[in-house]
Amino acid sequence: MSKVFKTISLILLLTLTAALLLTACQPKSDLKKVTLFEVTHSLFYTPQYVALSLGFFEEEGLEIELIDGKGADKVMAALLSGDADIGFMGTEASVYVYNEGREDYAIVFAQLTQRDGQFLVAREPDPDFTWDKLKGKEVLGGRKGGMPFMTLEYVVKKNGLTPGQDVNLRTDVQFDVLAGAFTGGEGDYVTLFEPVASSLEKEGKGYVVASIGEEGGYIPYTVYTALKSTIEKDPEMIQAFTNALYKGMLWVQSHSLEEIAEVVKPYFPDIDDEVLIMLLERYKNQDSWKPDPVVSEEGFEHLMDIMELAGELDKRANYDDIVNTDFAKEAMKNVKLD
């Protein structure tokens, strides 16, 4: 009995010793925490959620705290106040801050989407929709000076309509409550991102009739920005972030819609699988996602054109001042998916 007791004691001692050694040897988490404010939560940003879901940011040594900023103005405010390390929003927000003369302004270092992600939603199905049908109608278009509204205005003018005369484009409804205002009876049309647009279709309260992205052309629509001071102090973090993002972009390009849907599902748990695939196909077919994170000068100048047409640009910003492509180009040179 004594031998059995000694044997058991020895086993317990060895087990405890091994456990303590294992605990001591385990590396402590050295992931750098990064707070990322996104302009809204949408399937439009699928490559970002792929990178998050598949652990690409962790592979690059980053722990991301993702926060829905509910509008570019709020995201920029968070960035300027220091609440956000990185802001994900429209390029126009950086242009506004730069033109104000702020010394520590927001620099664009990576691009994710290359078209507007909005869809025009009507109250009834209209498979034969043409833009002239907006004549005499009212459209809920979001915040004045925001990229979604400016692109809508650009598309309307491109199709021969004059805002304020032929069509009423409303700017008095905040971005994050557009759908609620529309279902509450305001407006004849509304502009919405996915999955909100399709949720209205599912409820029979609205129907997608046109893609604003297809009409608006290629622009640096949604981009990643950081303060000039942040980029100067911590270029390693910016590079690691860009590397992880590019991995997500590459992964999306090389996998099926079904595979993509499975990966992003945790970020959109309330969407049925079939609907999720349909929405991803909608964005993929209109070439929403840029194949690389580099912001082109051509796209930037088109953005300036849209802002000028909207009367929101006092002076054109210099591409070389607003945009830093070094991190994106470095990612493209070195990042490979396993």
Write out the DSSP string of 121-171.
EESS--TT--GGGGTT-EEE---TTSHHHHHHHHHHHHTT--BTTTBEEE-
pLDDT at 28: 40
One-letter identity of residue 160: G
- Radius of gyration of the chain, Cα coordinates, nearest whole angstrom: 24
What pLDDT, on a 0 to 100 scale, did the predictor assign at position 55? 97
Query: How far is 111 from 177, CA to CA, in rounded Å?
Result: 26
Q: Could you tell me the residue ranges of all domains in the chain?
A: 32-115+220-334, 119-216
Element (H, E) at 7: helix 2-25
Domain 119-216 has CATH 3.40.190.10: yes
Given this model, what pLDDT does residue 6 score?
Answer: 40
Residue type, 190: V
User: Measuring CA to CA, how many Å separate 218 from each of 88, 214, 298, 308?
Assistant: 18, 9, 9, 16
CATH topology match: 32-115+220-334 vs 119-216: yes
Q: What is the C-alpha separation between 155 and 281, in angstroms, rounded?
A: 23
As given in the structure block, the two tokens for residue 128 are 């034969």
pLDDT at residue 87, rounded to an integer: 98
What's the pLDDT score for residue 20?
A: 35
Instruction: Provide the pLDDT for residue 176.
Output: 83
At residue 337, the pLDDT reads 83
pLDDT (tens place) for every residue of the chain, 338 residues total: 444 334 433 433 333 334 333 333 334 478 999 999 999 999 999 999 999 999 999 999 999 999 999 989 999 999 999 999 999 999 999 999 999 999 999 999 999 999 999 999 999 999 999 999 999 999 999 888 888 899 999 999 999 999 999 999 999 998 889 999 999 999 999 999 998 998 899 899 999 999 999 998 899 999 999 999 999 999 999 999 999 999 999 999 999 999 999 999 999 999 999 999 999 999 999 999 999 999 999 999 999 999 998 999 888 999 999 999 999 999 999 998 87
pTM for the structure as a whole:
0.84
What's the CA gap between 142 and 335, in Å, rounded? Answer: 37
| pLDDT at residue 18 in the model | 40
With beta carbons less than 8 A apart as the criterion, state whether 157 and 261 touch.
no
Strand-pair category, 222-227 with 86-89? antiparallel
Q: What is the structure's pLDDT at 14?
A: 37
Which class would CATH give 32-115+220-334? alpha beta
How would you list the strands of the sheet with 106-113, edge to edge? Answer: 62-68, 32-38, 86-89, 222-227, 106-113
pLDDT for residue 142? 86
Query: Quick one: pLDDT at residue 15?
Result: 39
- SS3 (DSSP) at 256: coil
**Contact (CB, 8 A) for 71 and 171:** no
Q: How far apart are CA 125 and CA 208, in angstroms?
A: 7
